Structure 1
Amino acid sequence: MSGLRLVPDWIPHSYCWMAWAIDPSEWGKDARGARQELREVIATISRFEKVRLLTPPNLLGDARAQHFGSDVEIVEAPVDDIWMRDIAPIYALSEGEPVCIDLNFNGWGSTNYRRARPGDRLAGVARDLFASTMLNAPFVAEGGAFVVGHDAVVFTTRSCLLNPNRNPHFCRSDIEAGLIRLGAKKVVWLEGDPDEKITSGHVDGYILPAESGELLIQRTDARDHSAMLRNLDIRTLQGLRAADRNAVPVRLVSAPRIAMRTSEFFADSYVNVYTPNAAVVAPRFGDPLRDADARRALERAFPGRKVEMLSIPHLASGGGGIRCLVQPVPASTAV
C-alpha cells in the first residue's frame, strides 16, 4: 500500500478502542478490583480523547450503568478480553489516512498460562467495526510485541517475534522484511525475555520511545537470567544512533521494588503507558520513591502533557499495564 508508515503512540488520535470485558472466572479474587481499576482508566483517558468501548452483549447494561459520559461510546461486539493492544488490529498511516492491520494474533503463542477464546480473532470476527478494509501482516504478532519511535523506527524482541510459538518457520530477516512492508523504516532487535510466562517478553514492558526523542528503559533490581538480558538490551540501546547520526538519549527508570509484586504475572512496568491527546496515563505501584522518579521521567519525556498516574495492582496482577488496554486510532494527517 502506498506510503504506509507505522506511527508512534503519541501522535494525535481520532479516538481509541478499549473493552469492558472482565471475566470473573479468569480473574478470580482480582475481578472486582480489576473492574474498578479498568473503569478509572477508561474515565481518565476519556477526559483527553474519545473512547470507543467494545462490550459483549451480556455486559451492555453493566457498561451503561458506569455512566462514563458522552466521550465513551459503548459498542456491542464479540469481545471477551480487555487487552485490546494485542487482540485488536493495529493502525498505521497511508498517505495520511489510518489503515488497519491484522497481526494474526494467536493468544500469545497459545501458552499454557491462558486459555484460548473466540475473541482472540477479534480482528477477523469484528472486522467491520475497525475498518472497511484491513491489511494482513505476513507473520504472527500482537501490538505489545513492538513499539514505534521517531522516524518509524520499530523496537522488538527476538524472544517474542522469533519464538516458535508464533513464527516457527520465519527467521529474523523474514520478520524484519514484513515489518518494513507494514511501514517500519528501521527495526531494532533486542533480546527480550524468553522466561516471561505469557507474552514471551513484550518490548512494551520495558521500552518507551518518547515524544522528546528519549528512550525510557526500565531497569530491574533482579540478578537473574532475565535481568542479564535486560542489561544487554540497555547496552544495545545506549549505542543507538538516530537518523542524524547523533546518539539517541537514553533514560533509565527503576522498577518498583520486588516487595510490591502480588503475583508471578505481575506487570510492574512504569513505561507501559498510554498517551491520549495532551496526556500520559501511567501506573503507580505504591513505592513512593520510585513512583515519583517515574513521574519526573515521564514529565521530561513528554513535555507539555499532563501526567496522570493510576493505581492498577489488580490489572497488573493479570500480566498487563495501561498500554495493553488501549488501541489508538491515529488522526488523519491528509491535506
Structure 2
Amino acid sequence: MTDLRFVPDWAPHSYCWMAWAIDASEWGKDACGARKELREVIATIARFEKVRLLTPPNLLSDARAQHFGPDVEIVEAPVDDIWMRDIAPVYALQNGEPIVIDLNFNGWGSTSYRRARPGDRLAGVARGLFASKTLNAPFVAEGGALVVGHDATVFTTRSCLLNPNRNPHLSESDIQAGLIELGATKVVWLEGDPDENITSGHVDGYILPTESGEILIQRANTSGRSAMLRNSDIRTVQGLCADDRNAVRVRLVSPPRITKRTSELFADSYANVYTPNSAVIAPRFNDELRDEEARAALEGAFPGRKVEILSIPHLASGGGGIRCLVQPVPASIPR
C-alpha cells in the first residue's frame, strides 16, 4: 500500500523554498521596507535550515548583492511574487519520501484585489524545480488554506475552499475526499472569514497546531460576522480537543492592537509563523504586552525551540505573514 501523508510544518525539513521577487510597481511605498524585512526573514531562517531562493532573471544580481551566505542558494526561476506558501506546490510524504502536490493555484480566486498572473502557476511552469513527480489535487486551493496537526489532521475553512471563485462545482464532501486521498487522516472544517479580502479566510491566519499538541487560536480583531464565525471556530476546536485524549488544550491568543494600518489588507496574525528546524520565526507588531504574550505562548507550545520575533509591518501590509513566505520540503523518513 502507498503510504501518503500530509506532514505538519514543524516536522524536520531538508530545506525550504522562498522567493526574492518584490515588484516595486505592486508594492508601491512599502516596497523598500518589505524588501528589508524579507531579507531579514530569509537570513534568520537560513541560520536554522537551508533556503533555496527563487529569483527572476532581472533580480539575480540584486539577490547576489545581499550576500546571504552559503545557506541561501539563489535559483533562477519565473517567479513574480514572494508568497511561496501559496504560489508554490505543497509537499507530503509518500513512503517516507517527499512528494509534490499541485493545488491548482488560481491567484486566490482572481479577485479584484489580485488578478492571476503567469508566475502564479509556478507549480506548473517551474515543475521541474520542485520534483520529478507531481500529484494534482482534485480541487483548487493554496498552501495557506491548509494547516496540518498531529497524525496528519488537516484544518481548513469553508469560506476559502467552498468559495465559488475556487471550487464552484465541488461540495465539502468532494474536497474532503480529495484531501484524504492526498494524505489527510482527518479534515477539520472551520467557518473561516468570508469577508477577508484576498484569501477568503485562510486558516493559517488564526489557527496554529503545535509540536506539543496544543492548538493556538487567535481571537477575532473585529466585531460583527467575522467575530461570530471566529467564536464558532474556537468552539469547534475546543470540542475537538475535548474528544481527543492526545490533545493538550486550546490556547487563545489576543490579536495585536494596531494603532496605524498602512493597508486594509494588513495581516496582523501571531499564528502565521514558520518553524524551521529547531526554531520558530514569528512576527511582532510593536504591541509590547501582546507581542510578549504571543512569544510566551509559542515558547510553551514549541518546547526546546528558539523563538525569534521579527518586525514585519511592510510585509504585513501586503496581506501576508512569515508562514506565507515559505514552503518547506519535509525530510525523508528512513524506512
TM-score, with length taken from structure 2: 0.98
Contact persistence 1:157–1:191 (CA under 8 A): yes
- CA deviations 1:213-242 (Å, max 9, x no partner) are 000000134222111110110111111148
Partners of 1:254 and 1:5 lie apart in 2 by 32
Residue type matched to 2:237 in 1?
L
Match of 2:47 in 1: 47
Mapped to 2, the partners of 1:76 and 1:221 lie a distance apart of 39
1:34-72 Cα deviation digits (max 9, x unpaired): 000000000000000000000000000000000000000
SS in 1 for 2:308: strand
Q: Does 1:35 align with 2:35?
A: yes
Residue 277 of structure 2 corresponds to 277
Question: 2:260 and 2:228 mapped to 1: Cα distance?
Answer: 21
Q: What is the deviation of 1:99?
A: 0.5
What is the letter of the counterpart of residue 234 of structure 2? Answer: I
Q: Distance in 2 between matches of 1:257 and 1:146?
A: 26
1:206 equivalent to 2:206? Answer yes
User: 1:231-310 counterparts in 2 under 5 A?
Assistant: 231-241=231-241, 245=245, 248-310=248-310
| Structure 1 range deviating more: 239-248 or 294-303 | 239-248
Looking at structure 2, the residues matched to 126 and 72 of structure 1 have their Cα atoms a distance apart, in angstroms, of 19
Counterpart CA distance in 2 for 1:290 and 1:138 is 40
Matched residue, 1:25: 25
Per-residue CA deviations over 1:93-121 (Å, capped at 9, x if unaligned) read 01110000000000000010013211110
Q: What is the distance in 2 between the residues matched to 1:243 and 1:136? A: 33
User: Which residue does the alignment assign to 1:121?
Assistant: 121
CA distance in 2, matches of 1:9, 1:32: 29
Which runs of 5 or more structure 2 residues have no equivalent in the other structure? none
Deviation at 1:260, TM superposition (A): 4.5
**Matching residue of 2:171:** 171
Deviation, structure 1 residue 321: 0.1
SS of residue matched to 1:220: coil
Structure-2 residue corresponding to 1:10: 10
1:87 aligns with 2:90: no
- Give the drift of 1:245: 4.0
Name the counterpart of 1:319. 319
Q: Is the 8 A contact 1:159 1:191 kept in 2?
A: yes
Q: Is the 8 A contact 1:261 1:268 kept in 2?
A: no
Partners of 1:290 and 1:217 in 2: CA distance: 14
Equivalent residues of 1:63, 1:74 under 8 A apart: yes
Percent identity of paired positions between Structure 1 and Structure 2: 83
Equivalent residues of 2:87, 2:105 under 8 A apart = yes
* CA-to-aligned-CA distance 1:300-333 (integer Å, 9 cap, x gap): 0000000000000000000000000000000000
Looking at structure 1, the residues matched to 2 and 154 of structure 2 have their Cα atoms a distance apart, in angstroms, of 19
Give the superposition deviation at 1:244. 5.1
SS in structure 1 of the partner of residue 290 of structure 2: helix
Query: What CA distance in whole angstroms lies between the structure 1 residues aligned with 2:246 and 2:43?
Result: 40
Q: Is the 8 A contact 1:242 1:248 kept in 2?
A: no
- Contact 2:241–2:250, Cα closer than 8 Å, also in 1: no
Which runs of at least 4 in structure 1 moved beyond 6 Å after TM superposition? none
Match of 1:150 in 2: 150
Aligned equivalent of 2:96: 96
Contact 2:212 2:248 (8 Å CA) reproduced? no
User: Whole-Å Cα distance in 2 between the matches of residues 215 and 250 of structure 1?
Assistant: 5
Report the Cα distance in structure 1 between the residues aligned to 2:323 and 2:8, rounded to whole angstroms.
12
1:57 and 2:57 are equivalent in the alignment: yes
Q: CA-atom RMSD, angstroms?
A: 1.2
- Any conservation in 2 of the 1:239–1:247 contact (CA below 8 Å)? no
What SS is found at the alignment partner of 2:109?
Answer: helix
Separation of aligned partners in 1, 2:325 and 2:258:
23
Question: In structure 2, what is the Cα distance between the partners aligned to 1:202 and 1:70?
Answer: 34
**How far does residue 248 in structure 1 lie from its aligned partner after superposition?**
4.9
